[in-house]
């Protein structure tokens, strides 16, 4: 038996070299996991949605991103501790299943699937909006459909191809953002370009102050800010296909603070110093707008290509994660067994296919309500994402209790401060949920999720009637990883 044998399961079939206990190919190397982690923190929420949030909060949006970033770090350290305790693909559902019970694993798995389906819709919508920059005559739904088919094909081929696409897409995003920051600092320092005469650090407070619309308006942007951070937890889904999770996952998580500081707080600070906040509006990328005002030849077009890459990268990640989550659910008897089968290329092809078909609803939304498609789907994604994060945090709190009681082994990557950070993050996420309930536009997500909860509840009753053993807690299976 190989070193990746599951402890306590007895003898079993030999796995192929480089194959995980779950049958996946461990085809994601360190550089790919690192860039997936970095890319997960740079998406449409920053490149497009920040325009609407700047219009609402002004320069104080910087503080909102920093505050939410601290909470995201607490979430990721909680997840990191769990991942190094037991690295599995579909980890959020598995930990919910282990620490809160089978129903919560079932509910979390399906809700995380929903989150990525609607996020995929949002990214397709954003990509179609970006294409309008060059080709305003092409209907949004046509562009969304073309991108959907292309990414679907790539995801069916292999996890290595997915990893390569994410690596290079993330490389483009990171390089471009660093370039934007450097150019912005150059404008501020040397005063060149069309924006040089008005660029100043004082732009952060001169136009009606740092909180121009009041602290209340700034706090209301937190729901949009949290959407920007959706996908940082994707490294948890890659655990079952990472070559050496004991080394790659802690490194990916520990670099999160500087990624947030640089790519979110840093980039927005520079942009809002170069261009006063009153120039930004919903539906327009603040980065495209800033470079257009700076007047660099073709600069706005280049940035538009970068943000298009970001949207397609995130949609690609959505297809990857939904297929894996459906397989995890199938393995637990909480989804049709057919979703549990892998293709010859070690990908959950059926799960990806079904997920893509549901993402196709986003194409329909772009046909029916192109002007509101993005706001509708992002609000639902945030609600589903908050549930997922809450399950990670609560699972972490319960895991720490089990470790302190001597019932479970300690993780090699403990969260600083134990469960304290998790409790702080739980309170914060509940606060954001209250903000969502207060906002008339985003409140629709709570209605959608209420219907979703009822549907899952009915599904659970049906599952129990067919297989009563599904409600029984299972002993966790431990896979040895690393050297």
- What's the confidence (pLDDT) of residue 29? 61
Interval 69-95 mean pLDDT: 86
**Least confident window among 50-54, 114-118, 281-285, 436-440:** 281-285
Q: Which two tokens stand for residue 459?
A: 């599904």
**pLDDT tens digits, 12-58:** 344 444 444 455 555 566 666 666 666 656 766 677 678 888 989 99
Put residue 321 in one of left, alpha, beta given phi > 0 → left and psi -120 to 50 → alpha: alpha
Residue 309: the pLDDT is 86
- Percentages helix, strand, coil for the chain (3-state, rounded to 5) are 70, 0, 25
Q: What is the pLDDT of residue 174?
A: 83
d(CA 426, CA 430): 6
User: pLDDT tens for residues 300-319?
Assistant: 788 788 878 888 888 887 88
What's the DSSP call for residue 7? Answer: E
Which residue has better confidence, 343 or 465?
465
Q: Where is 478: in which H helix or E strand? A: strand 478-479
Q: Distance (Å, rounded) from C-alpha 303 to C-alpha 377?
A: 24
Q: DSSP secondary-structure letter at 24?
A: -
| Model confidence at 333: pLDDT above 80 | yes
Report the alpha-carbon distance of residue 21 to residue 14 in Å, rounded: 10
CA pair distance 85, 353, nearest whole angstrom: 32
Say how far apart CA 430 and CA 380 lie, in whole Å: 16
pLDDT for 163: 77
Place of tokens 């694993």: 105
CA distances from 222 to 65, 116, 339, 444 (A): 8, 20, 36, 16
pTM, to two decimals: 0.84
Q: What Cα–Cα distance (Å) separates residue 114 from each residue in 120, 121, 298, 453? A: 10, 11, 38, 11
Q: Tell me if 106 sits within 8 A of 329, measured CB to CB.
A: yes
More confident residue, 89 or 51: 51
Nearest-angstrom CA–CA distance, 228 and 225 = 5
Supply the mean pLDDT for the chain. Answer: 81
Task: Give 1's pLDDT tier (boundaries 50, 70, 90).
Answer: very low
**Calpha distance 287→293 (Å, rounded):** 10
Nearest to 58 by CA among 257, 203, 253, 185: 203
CA atoms of 342 and 355, how far apart (whole Å): 15
The predicted pLDDT at position 8 comes to 35
Task: Write out pLDDT tens, residues 183-218.
Answer: 889 988 888 777 778 888 999 999 999 999 999 999
Structure tokens given for 256: 């999160």
DSSP assignment of 359-421 = HHHHHHHHHH-TTTHHHHHHHHHHHHHHHHHHHHHHHHHHHHHHHHTTSSPPPSSPPTTTTHH
Res 9: pLDDT: 36
The answer to whether the beta carbons of residues 48 and 126 sit under 8 Å apart is yes
Q: Which of 38-47, 147-156, 441-450, 461-470 has the lowest mean pLDDT?
A: 38-47
Confidence at residue 312, expressed as pLDDT on a 0 to 100 scale:
84
Residue 451, classified by CB atoms within 10 Å of its CB into exposed (0-12), middle (13-18) or buried (19+), is exposed
Higher pLDDT, 300 or 337: 337
User: Does residue 335 contact residue 364 with C-beta atoms inside 8 Å?
Assistant: no
pLDDT of residue 4: 35
For residue 340, what are its two tokens? 């549990």
pLDDT at 6: 34
Q: What are phi and psi of 292, to 5 degrees?
A: -65, -40
Sign of CA dihedral 43, 44, 48, 49: negative
The single residue listed with the structure tokens 């890459």 is 309
- The predicted model gives 374-391 an average pLDDT of 84
In degrees and rounded to multiples of 5, residue 30 shows phi and psi of -60, -45
- Contact yes or no for 144/366 (Cβ under 8 A): yes
Kindly tell me if the per-residue pLDDT of 257 is higher than 70: yes
3-class SS at 9?
Answer: coil
The two structure tokens encoding residue 263:
């790519």
pLDDT at 355: 92
If DSSP states are collapsed to H, E and C, what string results for 339-367? HHCCCCCCCCHHHHHHHHHHHHHHHHHHH
- Tell me if residue 183 falls in helix, strand or coil: helix
Cα 199 to Cα 63, 185, 269, 295: the distances in Å are: 20, 10, 12, 13
450 has a pLDDT exceeding 70: yes
């Amino acid at each position: 038996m190989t070193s990746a044998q599951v402890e306590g399961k007895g003898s079993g079939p030999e796995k192929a070299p480089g194959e995980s206990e779950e049958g996946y190919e461990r085809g994601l190397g360190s550089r790919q996991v690192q860039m997936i982690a970095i890319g997960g923190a740079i998406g449409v929420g920053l490149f497009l949605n920040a325009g609407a949030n700047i219009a609402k909060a002004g320069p104080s949006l910087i503080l909102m991103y920093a505050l939410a970033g601290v909470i995201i770090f607490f979430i990721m350290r909680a997840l990191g501790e769990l991942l190094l305790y037991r690295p599995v693909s579909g980890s959020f559902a598995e930990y919910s299943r282990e620490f809160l019970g089978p129903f919560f694993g079932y509910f979390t798995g399906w809700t995380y699937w929903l989150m990525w389906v609607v996020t995929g819709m949002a990214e397709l919508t954003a990509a179609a909006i970006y294409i309008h920059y060059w080709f305003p005559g092409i209907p949004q739904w046509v562009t969304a459909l073309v991108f959907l088919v292309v990414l679907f094909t790539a995801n069916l081929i292999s996890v290595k191809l997915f990893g390569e696409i994410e690596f290079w897409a993330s490389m483009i995003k990171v390089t471009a953002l660093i370039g934007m920051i450097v150019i912005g600092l150059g404008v501020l320092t040397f005063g060149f370009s069309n924006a040089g005469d008005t660029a100043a650090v004082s732009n952060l407070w001169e136009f009606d102050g740092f909180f121009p619309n009041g602290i209340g308006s700034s706090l209301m942007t937190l729901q949009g800010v949290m959407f920007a951070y959706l996908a940082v937890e994707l490294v948890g889904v890659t655990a079952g296909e990472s070559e050496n999770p004991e080394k790659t996952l802690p490194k990916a998580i520990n670099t999160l603070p500087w990624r947030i500081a640089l790519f979110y707080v840093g980039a927005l600070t520079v942009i809002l110093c170069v261009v006063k906040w009153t120039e930004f509006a919903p539906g327009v990328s603040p980065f495209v707008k800033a470079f257009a005002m700076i007047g660099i030849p073709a600069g706005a077009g280049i940035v538009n290509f970068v943000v298009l890459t970001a949207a397609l990268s995130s949609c690609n990640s959505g297809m990857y994660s939904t297929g894996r989550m459906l397989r995890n659910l199938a393995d637990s008897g909480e989804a049709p067994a057919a979703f549990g089968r892998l293709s010859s290329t070690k990908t959950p092809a059926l799960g990806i296919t079904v997920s893509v078909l549901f993402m196709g609803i986003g194409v329909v939304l772009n046909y029916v309500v192109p002007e509101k498609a993005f706001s509708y789907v992002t609000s639902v994604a945030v609600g589903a994402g908050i549930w997922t994060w809450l399950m990670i945090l609560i699972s972490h709190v319960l895991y720490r209790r089990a470790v302190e009681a001597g019932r479970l082994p300690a993780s090699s990557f403990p969260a600083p401060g134990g469960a304290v950070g998790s409790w702080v993050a739980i309170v914060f996420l509940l606060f954001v949920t209250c903000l969502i309930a207060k906002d008339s536009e985003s409140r629709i997500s709570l209605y959608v999720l209420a219907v979703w909860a009822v549907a899952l509840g009915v599904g659970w009753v049906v599952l129990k009637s067919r297989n009563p053993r599904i409600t029984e807690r299972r002993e966790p299976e431990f896979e040895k990883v690393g050297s």
